[in-house]
Amino acid sequence: MLSLVQLYQLLLDFYGYQGWWPVDEGYHTAKGTDPRDEIIIGAVLTQNTAWRNVEKALENLKKYGELSLEFIRQVSTKELEELIRPSGFYRLKAQRLKHVAEFFNPTDVVEKVSREGLLKVKGIGKETADAILLYAGGRLSFVIDAYTKRLFKRLYGLDVGYDDLKSYVEENIPKDLTIYKEFHALIDEHAKAYCKSTPRCGGCFLKNFCLSAVPSS
């Protein structure tokens, strides 16, 4: 069967470099805000939400406030709700952002916080914790999401819980930050494009490797 490294290479060849949340590429330096703050905030806002809606909220924060955890601490909950409204679940997420911003106040550095610590924060579950650790903290913590579960179940017949799947992936790919970040992003791209709720196996370049590919459709 297709190894995870082979799968990664095929996805990368097909979709190209995704570059989610590039901390080291300087796109953030315009206003001097910490890119890690933006990633942490984005990780909460994108919970069960399309990224295009999150972008609207991030733009509002940039335009009418500041895309930083310090601003999240300062602003009133009511105003924060209005700024992030386009991202959906806005009252819930305003509370979560407040909790997260408080967790990192003032000296907790994302490069050093523990996964267990993050998981104690109201509003941070396993996926959000791993996304923060990986993309903001530069830590080798692979992110599992609904897309990953769906793809691995169909492709490999692998149907296990979050931590088991996370461990499985981590044990079968190189311990490389770029690969961790890109593999997760590429899996999401493929799940959105082909391995959807109702899969489009017809045009899928992985169908010959897939346990559950439908011959036509």
Partner DNA sequence: CCCCAGGGACATT
Partner DNA sequence: AATGTCCATGGG
Question: What's the rounded Cα separation, in Å, for the pair 114 and 139?
Answer: 10
Chosen residue from 129, 151, 165, 206 binding DNA by CB under 7 A:
129
Chosen residue from 37, 38, 182, 188 binding DNA by CB under 7 A:
188
Restricting to residues 22-61, which ones interact with DNA according to CB under 7 A?
42-43, 46-53, 56
Binding to DNA by CB under 7 A, coded x per residue (else -) over 94-113, reads --------------------
Distances in Å between the alpha carbon of 187 and those of 1, 72, 158, 167?
Answer: 17, 31, 15, 16
* Residue 89 sits in the site that holds DNA (CB under 7 A): yes
* Residue 115 sits in the site that holds DNA (CB under 7 A): no
Please give the size of the binding site for DNA, defined by CB under 7 A.
Answer: 42
- Cis before residue 22, ω within 30 degrees of 0? no
- Specify burial of residue 178 (Cβ count, 10 A radius: 0-12, 13-18, 19+): exposed
Question: What's the rounded Cα separation, in Å, for the pair 111 and 177?
Answer: 13
Positions touching DNA (CB under 7 A) are: 20-21, 42-43, 46-53, 56, 85-86, 88-93, 121-129, 131, 135, 145-147, 161, 185, 188, 191-192, 196-197
